[in-house]
Amino acid sequence: MAQLSGRLRVAADVGGTFIDFVAVDENDTIMVDKQPASADRLVQEFAAGLARLGPGEAVTHLAHGTTTAINTIVQEKGARVGLVTTKGFRDVLELGRGGRNEIYNWRFSPPPPLVPRALRLEVDERTLADGRILTAVSPEQVAAIADELAGLEVEAIAVCLLHSYANPEHELAVADVLRARLPGVSVTMSHVVAPEWREFERTSSTVLNAYVHPMFGTYLSRLTERLNTDGYRAPLAIMQSNGGVLSVPRAHSVPVRTLYSGPAGGVVASRALAESLGIEHAICADVGGTTFDVALVVDGDIVERHETRLHERPVLGATVDITSIGAGGGSVAWVDARGALKVGPESAGAKPGPACFGHGGTLATVTDAQLLLGFLDAERFLGGRMKLDVAAAEAAITKHVAEPLGLSLTEACLGIVRIAETNMANAVRAITVQRGLDPREFALITYGGGGGLFGASLAEELGVRQVVAPRAAEAFSAWGILASDYSEDLSVTRVFQLQENAVDDAVRELTNLAAAVTDGLADYGLPRDQVRLHHAADVRFAGQHHTVTVPIEAAWIGDPATLLPGVEQAFRTLHTRMYGPRTSDSVLEVVTLRVRGSVPVPRPHWPPLPEREPGPAREHRPVCLTERHGPTPVHVRDSLAVGQRVGGPAVVEEWANTVLVPAGWAAHLDEHGHLRLYSTDDATGAGR
């Protein structure tokens, strides 16, 4: 293990079973460590893992990816929430948007509301779409509601009033009364969580925030208290779903922004890696035990979305646009009623896991197929910590796939891997081609336990010619969290046509948002002059409903005469790229204005790999990459020299990761220890 010295920057990524730590010292020496995690002892384990990295006072930056918010929702362990709405609208949370997305399922039913009807109360007030007040709030009425909620023993309150995105006055007034009468009960206002129109989506986001708020707050208080006791003085930075970090007080007020904290870390790390390698467009693929999570870096920027769904419940707010499908090592292969081979979405999980793990699993999984194809070494899995059971894998695949389909065992294994690969490729196609992007213009960055096993074949399927299997892939998300800037997003819904007379208003709104964002970051002690601002607008053709987010350059705001043509041109280019040319035209309309402020943190650097002699293959073992098993060289990643070429077919192993180099591909370690794979076919070969 590397010796660290001097001041340290540290990131901790809490996962299901481990906390991954990455620490970097002043000499760019890196230390990677894992600490087992359990939900009930998280703070102690966090402190224990941290203590091993160095003395508390040496740590100058401490960033934390957390699953507390998402686990609270997934396990339905959140607070008893009361909801306060505008009169006439308390059922919006339950009614949702009314669509049946399984359209032929006559029993389709959305998940039940997180707040039952008895806990949803109404205030007789009304703000209009343009922000004018139609009916004023009565503090006496709100006081009565507070008392009623007290009687109902709520632990948190969500306040979502109509049109609060246009004017938050009433939400503020209601929250004031509730807080005064109900000390100790958390209150979330919808315009703080998401000042955007559409009351169901905003209510849902607000309720989810309230639902996780008390538990998240308790966790953060305990953690900061412990860190304080242990002598840590660096402010804790909490990773959020948009790929930036937040201060503790801010994260405490909007925990719903941390839902995708961990996966966002991997994408930030991919962006940093792509930047250091001069890659403009990257597909970021995290192949885990149960899911395949994919996101994009385009022109050096992470592709984001502004709405996600968690168990059919919408959450508004900027999030790294991650698509997750049930395709990982533990995904189960099965034959459906009409004899079609399927892989996933069900997973054997960690327990019992794939049949070859020997924990009692009997279903055929992707990992079982990869073992039988020789991709994995039964004796050396996880550095030999776990022996894999070949006979159990054979029995599972024979019974569940080979026999029902009349295939040989090898054909069945190849089929399983290929179907999993197809599912992954379809997910990548969906997110690229739907944006008018050609996956062949991307490099593929693969991480997670199964990334190296799928990288080259997935690339081949997509026509991608370059794959990167990063160094220390097992702590890749933590690395990304360490590289995440402080960032704060603000947005506001303002619907107007993009015409000369609207420019001044738009500039004013953007300037206000920018000021608010800067104030927010400065409030947490970040230097005001280091805040970088990014402006954007959600734009559409007047008449359309859905929008395209268009970046607004700072120069356009300085010179409003350029704003109109700038936005128009950017929108038309994006729209044409995504959806093709139109035969008709119409005026443009802005729906939402957005500003992100960020304060950069120092970028960690992968240190150069020490020089060493090229290492020969450790052994040859039978591996089946195409049709049959053939003796294939197996290299040990840690014994490869920088630049040492490994031609396919070959296997490159390290303790927790295996990378396949198929025929037609070659690989080498670059100077920073990233394994670079590239297609050796001529330019047309892989471009199917």
- The nearer residue to other proteins, 27 or 426, going by C-beta atoms, is 426
**CA 663/CA 527 separation, integer angstroms:** 53
- The nearer residue to other proteins, 453 or 517, going by C-beta atoms, is 453
Applying CB under 8 A, the span of 26-34, 76-84, 420-428, 628-636 interacting with other proteins comes to: 420-428
Among 110, 352, 607, 687, binds other proteins (CB under 8 A): 110
Q: Please report, as residue ranges, which positions from 81 to 100 form the binding site for other proteins (by CB under 8 A).
A: 87-92, 94-95, 97-100
Among 342, 359, 387, 399, binds other proteins (CB under 8 A): 342
Which among 384, 400, 380, 403 is positioned nearest to 392, based on CA atoms?
400
Write the single-letter amino acid at 413: C
Applying CB under 8 A, the span of 429-437, 599-607, 611-619, 631-639 interacting with other proteins comes to: 429-437
Among 311, 338, 351, 385, binds other proteins (CB under 8 A): 338
- The nearer residue to other proteins, 3 or 583, going by C-beta atoms, is 583
- The nearer residue to other proteins, 94 or 275, going by C-beta atoms, is 94
415 binds other proteins (CB under 8 A): yes
418 binds other proteins (CB under 8 A): yes
Among 2, 340, 382, 561, binds other proteins (CB under 8 A): 340
76 binds other proteins (CB under 8 A): no
CB of 671 to other proteins, least distance (A): 37
546 binds other proteins (CB under 8 A): yes
**CA 489/CA 342 separation, integer angstroms:** 41
Among 422, 466, 512, 680, binds other proteins (CB under 8 A): 422
197 binds other proteins (CB under 8 A): yes
Q: Please report, as residue ranges, which positions from 115 to 134 form the binding site for other proteins (by CB under 8 A).
A: 117, 128-129
Strands (E), 101-143: 120-123, 126-127, 133-135
- The nearer residue to other proteins, 307 or 670, going by C-beta atoms, is 307
Tokens of 506: 């738009």
Applying CB under 8 A, the span of 1-9, 386-394, 412-420, 673-681 interacting with other proteins comes to: 412-420
433 binds other proteins (CB under 8 A): yes
Q: Which long-range contacts (CB under 8 A, 24 or more apart) does 29-37 make?
A: 29/2, 29/3, 29/4, 29/5, 29/607, 30/2, 30/472, 30/604, 30/606, 30/607, 31/1, 31/2, 31/4, 32/472, 32/474, 32/475, 32/478, 33/1, 34/474, 34/475
**CA 522/CA 529 separation, integer angstroms:** 9
CB of 73 to other proteins, least distance (A): 22
Strands 301-302 and 304-310, by their bridges, are: unpaired
- The nearer residue to other proteins, 582 or 612, going by C-beta atoms, is 582
Tokens of 216: 């998240």
163 binds other proteins (CB under 8 A): yes
**CA 376/CA 373 separation, integer angstroms:** 8
Exposed, middle or buried by CB within 10 Å (0-12, 13-18, 19+), for 255? buried
Exposed, middle or buried by CB within 10 Å (0-12, 13-18, 19+), for 125? buried
DSSP-derived secondary structure for 570-636: HHHHHHHHHH---S----EEEEEEEEEEEEPPPPP-PPPPPP-PPPPPSEEEEE-SSSS-EEEEEEE
Sequence-distant (6+) residues with CB within 8 A of 420 are 327, 331, 343, 344, 366, 454
Give the CA radius of gyration of the chain: 26
Q: Please report, as residue ranges, which positions from 255 to 314 form the binding site for other proteins (by CB under 8 A).
A: none
Among 162, 437, 624, 667, binds other proteins (CB under 8 A): 162
101 binds other proteins (CB under 8 A): yes
189 binds other proteins (CB under 8 A): no
Applying CB under 8 A, the span of 303-311, 543-551, 608-616, 627-635 interacting with other proteins comes to: 543-551
- The nearer residue to other proteins, 15 or 110, going by C-beta atoms, is 110
CB of 299 to other proteins, least distance (A): 21
Which among 410, 403, 329 is positioned nearest to 372, based on CA atoms?
410
Strands 331-335 and 650-653, by their bridges, are: unpaired
684 binds other proteins (CB under 8 A): no
Q: Please report, as residue ranges, which positions from 495 to 514 form the binding site for other proteins (by CB under 8 A).
A: 495
CB of 306 to other proteins, least distance (A): 14
Would you say how long the chain is, in residues?
688
687 binds other proteins (CB under 8 A): no
Among 311, 351, 385, 545, binds other proteins (CB under 8 A): 545
Exposed, middle or buried by CB within 10 Å (0-12, 13-18, 19+), for 613? exposed
DSSP-derived secondary structure for 366-395: HHHHHHHTTSS-TTTGGGGTS---HHHHHH
- The nearer residue to other proteins, 87 or 359, going by C-beta atoms, is 87
Applying CB under 8 A, the span of 56-64, 76-84, 264-272, 340-348 interacting with other proteins comes to: 340-348
25 binds other proteins (CB under 8 A): no
**CA 138/CA 124 separation, integer angstroms:** 8
- How many other C-beta atoms lie within 10 A of the C-beta of residue 305? 16
Applying CB under 8 A, the span of 160-168, 220-228, 639-647, 649-657 interacting with other proteins comes to: 160-168
Which among 249, 381, 243, 228 is positioned nearest to 302, based on CA atoms?
243
- How many other C-beta atoms lie within 10 A of the C-beta of residue 504? 11
Residue 331 host element (H or E): strand 331-335
CA of 307: how far to CAs of 190, 205, 585, in Å?
15, 10, 28
- The nearer residue to other proteins, 176 or 681, going by C-beta atoms, is 681
Cis bond upstream, residue 470 (ω within 30)? no
153 binds other proteins (CB under 8 A): no
**CA 94/CA 200 separation, integer angstroms:** 9
Applying CB under 8 A, the span of 293-301, 323-331, 356-364, 430-438 interacting with other proteins comes to: 430-438
Among 75, 584, 626, 684, binds other proteins (CB under 8 A): 584
429 binds other proteins (CB under 8 A): yes
341 binds other proteins (CB under 8 A): yes
541 binds other proteins (CB under 8 A): yes
- At residue 259, the 3 state secondary structure works out as coil
Applying CB under 8 A, the span of 21-29, 159-167, 483-491, 523-531 interacting with other proteins comes to: 159-167
Query: How many residues contact other proteins, by CB under 8 A?
Result: 66
CA of 678: how far to CAs of 636, 641, 648, 668, in Å?
19, 17, 10, 9
Q: Please report, as residue ranges, which positions from 434 to 453 form the binding site for other proteins (by CB under 8 A).
A: 434
Binding site for other proteins (CB under 8 A): 87-92, 94-95, 97-110, 117, 128-129, 162-163, 165, 197-200, 337-342, 405, 407, 414-415, 418-419, 422-423, 426, 429-430, 433-434, 495, 541, 543-546, 575, 578-580, 582-584, 586, 688
